[in-house]
């Protein structure tokens, strides 16, 4: 474990202070009453699950969004950023996950763009200037290279140089290691150290526990739009500790569920490996919900992709309703088969510019076809009933998908998929970003659906998993660490360590 | 081969290629900033007409040249409105612009058909013009041809060595990066549309002021389209634009000579020759480039800048 610099308490004045920041998107509070101090010379990790509000918070700080309430103080003075340009002028810069670089231009040109100095450019002088800056901060880069020829880690360094050239005091990184190799990650963390030793502040958004332990001086933990905890690194001992704090155990909602007698097996995965998966085995029966939990990025996505038919299994066997994967997906039946409720509601699940009827037909059209023609009249009648039954607002079947709120869109997706009488339901983060009322409705639908189907619930919300699931499987680095009944209190208490890769009886990592 | 045959052909090739060269550089300028403008043909014709009319009434070729450039830039501004303000489709808007421009020039120019106006005549350069072979081929031309000689390195220098050139390139490659650097990519693209339009207009003006000195219907005869094609052939590099434009000009001059010499080949077939060659060259260039690597086009070419959020 890398030793972080000890957190000295009560530093004089924060560089930036966030006071009571709130931001709503529709009925959902992305940020609620957030207080946060950013100190010079410190690496602050913003830790939270997907949808916890990290990115929104940083978009506010970097001037892309305006908060609904609260204020930002820079050096103790209130600042109101109308654009990222103003935030940069105030010394706050952001490195986005998608780099803002023109790939045909050189490193030097990208760094100096907009601040070139004289009318006539001398490539040699520009490169020397950028080389000096890179040297000063120990960022290895060839300033004459074209960005297109650089690795992701090098491109990220170009972004850092851009901010340094603009005299940024606070550098914000949005999941900076997502695109990096382990070696590049180590280099990035060394750069963090270098920056903070020069009194810059680094804020980085992550959901990877080991990174927090390795490089952060302070940790702010976000959950459902709130900062639930801010603590110095010295008070965090293990990844297990962080995992527990991150996923939380507070019960927001409870649902009644009576166990059902498990029916026949609908899904069996044996020794599935490849694409980030490592020897995954699981089984699912009709009448039960199996929750797959874990910190995001530990293999949930590739698992879902294989099961949903988006990617073929590399190694191992997948049996869907008793058929091998390739056979099942050669001629999948639209009805009485498998349905998929993707995490990406407006991208993968629906077509934003098409109306409700057309979106329902996306996966159910075979139920409404007469030869090559679609029976739109009947489709509309069915959709009207579905919208009523699933309480989707507006009730208008001609509303466009993008006009629906997140909760209503999700209910529409459920209505569509459940109309197919599925035997296997693949639900991926089904309540992420939804308000309490919509969450409750989605939960009830899933519990109801379990009577006729087996439900595989992939979620980062531990509370959701424990409320709904009959059994829980914990994933870490592509492996299923353990699978156990949700009623097993002892095992449930050990989920946090398991999510951090620690089996009971082992010491913390 | 006999130099007495080659030299006049070279000279004619340069003269015939010069309007295409201006138009190619103009379209290249606009495309470097990320805007695809298929309206070159229409803009060229409007430039040609404006230059001709100005020359007719003022007698000043220089004023006429400026008028030609401005007229084409003005027509190009329509394209800018559609694409940069209303975020319309660049291909559709450009096609519409060609139809509008050719129709406009045709309608307004009808009363002028057959009239002549003062323009640019041959201007033998001292020293250079006396060189054997090269002199008569390249340096006994008119002032606009010399302007095009200067324009090519200036074009390169602008994009490689000046601040506005770098910013324009950024607007064509990745407007979001330009915006993140505190620049206004929309304004930069306007500069690309108007500046490029002006150069296209010079190409049109060359046709009416130096190439023919008289007004006829459809003076450009598809040269605007050739320019659009040559930008791709030239891989957005000004030096290669010269090669493409003069090749086109050379075949144009060659087929005219063949017609004059009284060949038995049908004239429509000969007239087709320069265009057919352009298509052929383009295909060969595309095949060769496709085999080696991806496109040379600016990354955000013809992609509109959507407002954030």
Task: Determine what percent of chain B falls in helix, strand and coil, rounding each to the nearest 5.
Answer: 75, 0, 25
Quick check: is A88 in a domain? Answer: yes
Alpha-carbon distance of A140 to A305, in angstroms, equals 37
Contacts of A13 (CB under 8 A, 6+ apart): A75, A76
CB contact under 8 A, B177 and A113: yes
Q: How many helices (H) and strands (E) does chain B have?
A: 12, 0
Alpha-carbon distance of A201 to A16, in angstroms, equals 9
Q: What are the φ and ψ backbone dihedral angles of B18, each rounded to 5 degrees? A: -60, -45
Task: Determine what percent of chain A falls in helix, strand and coil, rounding each to the nearest 5.
Answer: 35, 25, 40
pLDDT in tens, A53-89: 888 898 899 888 899 999 999 998 999 888 888 898 8
Least Cα separation, residue B154 to chain A (angstroms): 13
Distances in Å between the Cα of A52 and the Cα atoms of A47, A188, B233 are 9, 24, 51
Alpha-carbon distance of A307 to A340, in angstroms, equals 9
CB contact under 8 A, B173 and A104: yes
Least Cα separation, residue A356 to chain B (angstroms): 23
Of the candidates A64, A105, A114, the beta carbon closest to that of B182 is on: A114
CB contact under 8 A, A116 and B180: no
Of the candidates B166, B180, B298, the beta carbon closest to that of A116 is on: B166
Least Cα separation, residue B172 to chain A (angstroms): 9
- In degrees, to the nearest 5, what angle opens at C-alpha A114 toward C-alphas A111 and A116? 75
Domain boundary residue, one of A369, A396, A419:
A419
- In degrees, to the nearest 5, what angle opens at C-alpha B69 toward C-alphas B65 and B74? 145
Find the farthest-apart pair of alpha carbons in chain B and give their distance in angstroms, rounded: 67
pLDDT at B290: 66
Provide the b/e sequence for B196-215 (b: ≥16 CB within 10 Å): bbbbbbbbbbbbbbbbbbeb
pLDDT at B291: 59
Residues A164 and A279 in one domain: no
Interface test with A, best of B157, B159, B160, B163 (most A CBs within 10 A): B163
Strands ordered across the beta sheet of A315-320 = A277-285, A265-274, A315-320, A323-324
Residues A265 and A371 in one domain: no
Provide the b/e sequence for B40-59 (b: ≥16 CB within 10 Å): bbbbbbbbbbbbbbbbbeee
The reply to whether B299 touches chain A by the CB within 8 Å rule is: yes
Residues A473 and A436 in one domain: yes
CB contact under 8 A, B308 and A103: no
CA A234 to chain centroid: 27
Domain boundary residue, one of A398, A419, A440:
A419
**Length of chain B in terms of residues written:** 309
CB-CB contact of A160 with A107 (8 Å): no
pLDDT at A508: 44
Quick check: is A346 in a domain? Answer: no
**Length of chain A in terms of residues written:** 509
Residues A403 and A448 in one domain: no
Quick check: is A245 in a domain? Answer: no
Structural domain of A173: 16-236
pLDDT in tens, B27-64: 999 999 999 999 999 999 999 999 999 999 999 999 99
Reference B15, options B202, B152, B204, B210; nearest CA is B210
Residues A436 and A508 in one domain: yes
pLDDT, mean over chain B: 92
CB contact under 8 A, A123 and B169: no
Tokens representing residue A297 in the block: 């990025």
The reply to whether B163 touches chain A by the CB within 8 Å rule is: yes
3-state secondary structure of A205: strand
pLDDT at B83: 96
Residues A361 and A315 in one domain: no
Alpha-carbon distance of A486 to A471, in angstroms, equals 5
Q: Which domains does chain B carry?
A: 3-124+131-292 (1.10.3470)
Angle between helices B267-292 and B223-233 (to 10 degrees): 20
Q: What are the φ and ψ backbone dihedral angles of A476, each rounded to 5 degrees? A: -150, 125
Quick check: is A249 in a domain? Answer: no
Residues A136 and A200 in one domain: yes
Contacts of A280 (CB under 8 A, 6+ apart): A269, A271, A272, A273, A299, A303, A316, A475, A478, A479, A480
- The 10 Å Cβ neighbour count of residue A164 is 20
Instruction: Name the closest residue on chain A to residue B160, using Cα atoms.
Output: A121
Strands A92-95 and A77-79, how do they pair? unpaired
Low-confidence spans in chain A with pLDDT less than 50: 1-10, 251, 508-509
Residues A230 and A329 in one domain: no
Q: Please list every residue in chain A whose beta carbon sits closer than 8 Å to the beta carbon of residue B160.
A: 123
Alpha-carbon distance of B68 to A29, in angstroms, equals 58
End-to-end CA distance of chain A: 8
Q: What letter would DSSP give residue B208?
A: I
Reference A16, options A55, A57, A53, A52; nearest CA is A57
pLDDT in tens, B56-112: 999 999 999 999 999 999 999 999 999 999 999 999 999 999 999 999 999 999 999
pLDDT in tens, B201-258: 999 999 999 999 999 989 999 999 999 999 998 999 999 999 999 999 999 999 988 8
The reply to whether B309 touches chain A by the CB within 8 Å rule is: yes
Alpha-carbon distance of A4 to A233, in angstroms, equals 7
Residues A286 and A184 in one domain: no
Alpha-carbon distance of A443 to A431, in angstroms, equals 8
Greater pLDDT, B24 or A451: B24
DSSP letter string, A334-391: SSSSEEEE-S-IIIII--TTSBHHHHHHHHHGGGGEETTEE-HHHHHHHHHHHHHHTT
CB contact under 8 A, A104 and B167: no
Residues A118 and A190 in one domain: yes
3-state secondary structure of A31: strand
Q: What letter would DSSP give residue B126?
A: T
Beta strands in chain B (DSSP E): none
CB contact under 8 A, A120 and B178: no
pLDDT in tens, A225-276: 889 889 999 888 777 777 777 766 554 556 677 778 888 999 999 999 988 8
Q: Exposure of A371 by Cβ count < 10 A (0-12 exposed, 13-18 middle, 19+ buried)? A: exposed
Strands A265-274 and A315-320, how do they pair? antiparallel
pLDDT in tens, B128-152: 989 888 899 999 999 999 999 999 9
CB-CB contact of A188 with A20 (8 Å): no
Quick check: is A4 in a domain? Answer: no
The reply to whether B180 touches chain A by the CB within 8 Å rule is: yes
Tokens representing residue A402 in the block: 């993008």
Which of B69-78, B120-129, B168-177 comes out lowest in average pLDDT? B120-129
- In degrees, to the nearest 5, what angle opens at C-alpha A471 toward C-alphas A446 and A314? 90
Quick check: is A343 in a domain? Answer: no
pLDDT at B91: 95
Alpha-carbon distance of A408 to A357, in angstroms, equals 14
Domain boundary residue, one of A419, A434, A451:
A419
Instruction: Name the closest residue on chain B to residue A125, using Cα atoms.
Output: B161
CB contact under 8 A, A119 and B163: yes
The reply to whether B173 touches chain A by the CB within 8 Å rule is: yes
Q: Please list every residue in chain B whose beta carbon sits closer than 8 Å to the beta carbon of residue A172.
A: none
3-state secondary structure of A90: coil
The reply to whether B295 touches chain A by the CB within 8 Å rule is: no
Residues A332 and A401 in one domain: no
Least Cα separation, residue B33 to chain A (angstroms): 13
Instruction: Name the closest residue on chain B to residue A104, using Cα atoms.
Output: B173
Reference A199, options A167, A234, A153; nearest CA is A167
CB-CB contact of A130 with A108 (8 Å): yes
CB-CB contact of A67 with A79 (8 Å): no
CATH number of the domain residue A330 falls in: 3.40.50.300
Alpha-carbon distance of A450 to A285, in angstroms, equals 9
Of the candidates B162, B181, B182, the beta carbon closest to that of A121 is on: B162
Reference A170, options A92, A79, A56; nearest CA is A92
Q: Please list every residue in chain A whose beta carbon sits closer than 8 Å to the beta carbon of residue B299.
A: 102-104
- The 10 Å Cβ neighbour count of residue B279 is 11
Helix (H) or strand (E) holding B31: helix B3-32
Residues A406 and A447 in one domain: no
Alpha-carbon distance of A298 to A315, in angstroms, equals 18
Quick check: is A6 in a domain? Answer: no
Alpha-carbon distance of A28 to A224, in angstroms, equals 10
Q: Please list every residue in chain B whose beta carbon sits closer than 8 Å to the beta carbon of residue A114.
A: 167, 178, 181-183
ipTM rounded to 2 decimals: 0.90
Q: What letter would DSSP give residue A408?
A: H
Helix (H) or strand (E) holding A274: strand A265-274
Alpha-carbon distance of A425 to A107, in angstroms, equals 48
Instruction: Name the closest residue on chain B to residue A93, using Cα atoms.
Output: B180
How many structural domains are present in chain A? 3
Quick check: is A455 in a domain? Answer: yes
CB-CB contact of B209 with B9 (8 Å): no
């Amino acid at each position: 474990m890398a030793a972080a610099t000890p957190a000295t308490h009560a530093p004089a004045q924060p560089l930036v202070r966030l006071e009571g920041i709130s931001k709503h998107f529709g009925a959902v509070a992305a940020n609620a009453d957030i207080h946060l101090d950013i100190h010079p010379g410190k690496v602050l990790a913003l830790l939270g699950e997907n949808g916890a509000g990290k990115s929104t918070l940083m978009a506010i700080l970097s001037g892309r969004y305006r908060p609904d309430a609260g204020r930002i103080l820079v050096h103790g003075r209130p600042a109101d950023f109308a654009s990222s340009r103003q935030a940069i002028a105030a010394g706050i810069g952001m490195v986005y996950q998608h780099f803002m670089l023109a790939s045909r231009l050189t490193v030097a040109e990208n760094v100096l763009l907009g601040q070139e100095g004289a009318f006539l450019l001398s490539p040699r002088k520009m490169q020397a200037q950028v080389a000096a800056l890179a040297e000063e901060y120990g960022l290895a880069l060839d300033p004459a290279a074209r960005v297109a020829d650089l690795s992701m880690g090098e491109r990220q360094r170009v972004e850092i140089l851009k901010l340094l050239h603009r005299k940024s005091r606070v550098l914000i990184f949005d999941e900076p290691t997502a695109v990096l190799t382990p070696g590049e990650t180590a280099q990035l963390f060394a750069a963090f150290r270098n920056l903070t030793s020069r009194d810059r502040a680094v804020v980085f958004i992550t959901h990877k526990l080991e990174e927090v332990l390795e490089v952060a001086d302070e940790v702010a933990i976000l959950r459902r739009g709130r900062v639930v905890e801010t603590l110095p690194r010295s008070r965090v001992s293990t990844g297990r500790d962080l995992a527990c704090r991150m996923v939380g155990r507070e019960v927001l909602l409870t649902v009644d569920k009576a166990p059902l007698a498990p029916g026949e097996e609908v899904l069996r995965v044996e020794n599935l490996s490849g694409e980030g998966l490592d020897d995954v085995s699981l089984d699912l029966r009709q009448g039960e919900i199996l929750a797959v939990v874990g910190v995001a990025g530990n293999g949930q996505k590739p698992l879902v992709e294989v099961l949903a038919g988006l990617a073929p299994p590399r190694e191992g066997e997948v049996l869907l309703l008793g058929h091998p994967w390739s056979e099942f997906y050669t001629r999948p039946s639209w009805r009485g088969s498998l349905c998929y409720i993707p995490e990406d509601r407006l991208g993968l699940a629906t077509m934003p510019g098409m109306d409700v009827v057309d979106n329902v037909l996306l996966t159910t059209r075979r139920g409404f076809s007469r030869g090559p023609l679609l029976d739109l009249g009947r489709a509309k009648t069915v959709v009207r009933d579905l919208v009523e039954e699933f309480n989707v607002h507006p009730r208008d079947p001609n509303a466009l998908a993008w006009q629906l709120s997140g909760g209503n869109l999700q209910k529409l997706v459920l209505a569509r998929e459940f109309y197919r009488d599925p035997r296997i339901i693949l639900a991926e983060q089904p309540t992420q970003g939804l308000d309490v009322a919509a969450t409750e409705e989605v939960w009830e639908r899933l519990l109801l659906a379990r009577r006729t189907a087996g439900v595989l619930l992939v979620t980062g919300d531990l509370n959701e998993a424990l409320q709904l699931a009959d059994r829980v499987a914990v994933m870490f680095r592509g492996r299923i660490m353990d699978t156990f009944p949700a009623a097993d209190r002892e095992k449930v208490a050990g989920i946090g360590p398991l999510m951090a890769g620690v089996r009971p009886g082992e010491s913390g990592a | 081969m006999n130099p007495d045959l080659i030299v006049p052909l070279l000279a004619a090739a340069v003269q015939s290629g010069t309007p295409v060269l201006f138009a190619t550089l103009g379209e290249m300028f606009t495309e470097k900033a990320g805007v695809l403008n298929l309206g070159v043909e229409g803009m060229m014709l409007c430039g040609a007409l404006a230059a001709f009319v100005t020359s007719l009434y003022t007698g000043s070729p220089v004023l006429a040249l400026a008028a030609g450039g401005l007229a084409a830039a003005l027509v190009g501004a329509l394209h800018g409105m559609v694409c940069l303000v209303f975020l319309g489709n660049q291909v559709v808007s450009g096609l519409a612009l060609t139809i509008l421009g050719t129709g406009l020039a045709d309608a307004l120019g009808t009363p002028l058909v057959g009239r002549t106006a003062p323009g640019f005549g041959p201007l033998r350069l001292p020293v250079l013009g006396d060189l054997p072979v090269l002199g008569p081929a390249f340096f006994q031309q008119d002032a606009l041809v010399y302007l095009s000689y200067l324009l090519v390195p200036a074009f390169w220098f602008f994009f490689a060595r000046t601040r506005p050139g770098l910013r324009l390139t950024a607007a064509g490659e990745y407007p979001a990066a330009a915006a993140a650097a505190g620049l206004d990519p929309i304004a930069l693209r306007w500069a690309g549309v108007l500046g490029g339009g002006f150069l296209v207009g010079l190409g049109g003006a060359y046709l009416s002021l130096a190439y023919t000195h008289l007004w006829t219907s459809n003076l450009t005869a598809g040269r605007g389209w050739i320019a659009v094609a040559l930008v791709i052939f030239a891989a957005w590099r000004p030096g290669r634009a010269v090669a493409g434009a003069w090749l086109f000009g050379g075949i144009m001059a060659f087929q005219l000579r063949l017609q004059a010499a009284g060949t038995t080949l049908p004239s429509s077939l000969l007239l087709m020759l320069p265009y057919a060659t352009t298509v052929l060259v383009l295909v060969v260039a595309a095949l060769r480039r496709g085999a080696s690597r991806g496109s040379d086009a600016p990354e955000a070419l013809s992609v509109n800048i959507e407002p954030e959020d």
